[in-house]
Amino acid sequence: MIFQRTNRLQDSLTRTRQSFFGRIAGLFSGGDITEETWEALEALLIAADVGVATTIELVDALREQVAREHIRHADEAQDLLKQQMVALLQAKTRRYLEGDGRPLSVVLVVGVNGSGKTTSIAKLARYHQSRGDKVLLAAGDTFRAAAIDQLAVWAKRLGVELVAHQQGSDPGAVLYDAIDAAQARGANVLIADTAGRLHTKHNLMQELKKIHHVAARRLPGAPHETILVLDATTGQNGLAQARTFSEAVPVTGLFLAKLDGTAKGGIVFAVARELGIPILFVGTGEHAEDIAEFDAVQFVDGLFR
Ligand SMILES: Nc1nc2c(ncn2[C@@H]2O[C@H](COP(=O)(O)OP(=O)(O)OP(=O)(O)O)[C@@H](O)[C@H]2O)c(=O)[nH]1
Ligand SMILES: [Mg+2]
């Protein structure tokens, strides 16, 4: 089996576990809970990019539960913290391409330049291939010079077909043609790349709106997923990006790339709580196989393992 989801997800948390969450585990490794325990917990969660609002909510809820249940020992409190964290993440969980079984699923992939979009598309393509899907890619980033070639390299490597127009052409037309091609060739998943940068942010958002609209007009219900790729190493900045994209198009899920490259995996909590957009996948490395389905229990276990 190619996708050992749990291990990839937990392995990608090595840096996070060895830094902030390792220290949180240390806080709860024995002895009694004191005022200092709470203060240190709060500081570590914020340092791990959990975000101030989410940290306060988590710590307050935990304090309350500890008081209510007359818990004194720190190790019992750690189990409760893990439960609270799982609950926070599970509240936002949803299955990718829920209600599949349709003849063609269109997945639109958006995100700022450099976030890991193209690599994540390759991973998604690989993921679908491993499930027996026939995948077609659409080179919707017609702005950046090398973007089409980069996707073409991945398409060749993965053995999937690619629909591309010339650089500078209309990305809506690329998607329109790609839907035609997918239907003609019996592909059941179409994954479309988009630009991460145009002349202005306003232009980019207008373009994304237009692409989204074209997809819906060509195939009712499409795009079935609009996945925002966020770079986990950009921390709280990613939240602002996500808000901007969500205002332009209805983002249905997140692909959190480069989780292996950060010690601040706590961003996952901030994203879940503050954006309310489910995290569907995480990127765990630079290869096409380096993708894991997000799972709240495995994730939280991986933080403290
Ligand atoms: N370690 C690690 N690196 C990643 C991951 N995902 C992407 N990368 C790397 O991040 C860099 C940027 O990835 P791209 O896929 O080119 O990003 P992009 O968003 O398509 O960038 P533009 O096309 O320039 O907008 C590359 O060097 C990738 O190998 C990941 O999950 N882990
Ligand atoms: Mg790209």
pLDDT digits (tens, 9 = 90+) for 217-264: 999 999 999 999 999 999 888 899 999 999 999 999 999 999 999 988
Mutational pocket test of ligand 1: of 149, 198, 286, the residue with most ligand atoms within 8 Å of the beta carbon: 286
Q: Does any ligand 1 atom lie closer than 6 A to the CB of residue 118?
A: yes
Q: Which ligand lies nearest the alpha carbon of 139?
A: 2
Cα–Cα distance between 180 and 259 in angstroms, integer? 35
Q: Which atom of ligand 1 is nearest to the CA of 284?
A: 31
pLDDT by residue, tens only, the chain of 305 residues? 455 545 899 999 999 998 888 899 898 887 889 999 999 999 999 999 999 999 999 999 999 999 999 998 888 899 999 999 999 999 878 889 987 678 999 999 999 999 999 999 999 999 999 999 999 999 999 998 899 999 999 999 999 999 999 999 999 999 999 999 999 999 999 999 999 988 888 899 999 999 999 999 999 999 999 999 999 999 888 899 999 999 999 999 999 999 999 988 899 999 888 888 999 999 999 999 999 999 999 999 999 87
Q: Return the axis-axis angle of helices 267-275 and 52-68, rounded to nearest 10°.
A: 90
pLDDT, residue 138, reads 98
Q: What's the maximum distance between 2 C-alpha atoms anywhere in the chain?
A: 67
pTM of the shown model: 0.93
- What is the position in ligand 1's atom list of the atom closest to the CA of 196? 25
Task: Write b or e for each residue in 161-182: b if 16 or more Cβ atoms lie within 10 A of its Cβ, otherwise e.
Answer: bbbbbeeeeebbebbbebbebb
pLDDT computed for residue 5 by the predictor:
47
Q: Which atom of ligand 1 is nearest to the CA of 261?
A: 1
Task: Supply the pLDDT for residue 100.
Answer: 66
Q: Ligand 2 center to residue 205 CA distance, Å?
A: 16
Cα(162) to centroid(ligand 2), Å: 14
**Interstrand relation of 279-283 and 291-293 (parallel, antiparallel or unpaired):** antiparallel
* Residue 7 alpha carbon to ligand 1 centre in Å: 21
pLDDT at residue number 1? 42
Q: For atom 1 of ligand 1, which residue has the closest CA?
A: 285
Of 155, 142, 108, the residue nearest 255 (C-alpha): 108
Q: Which ligand is nearest to the CA of 11?
A: 1
CA 17 to ligand 1 center in whole angstroms: 23
Number of the ligand 1 atom closest to the C-alpha atom of 291: 31
C-alpha 288/C-alpha 150 separation (Å) is 14
Residues with CB under 5 A from ligand 2 (ion): 117-118
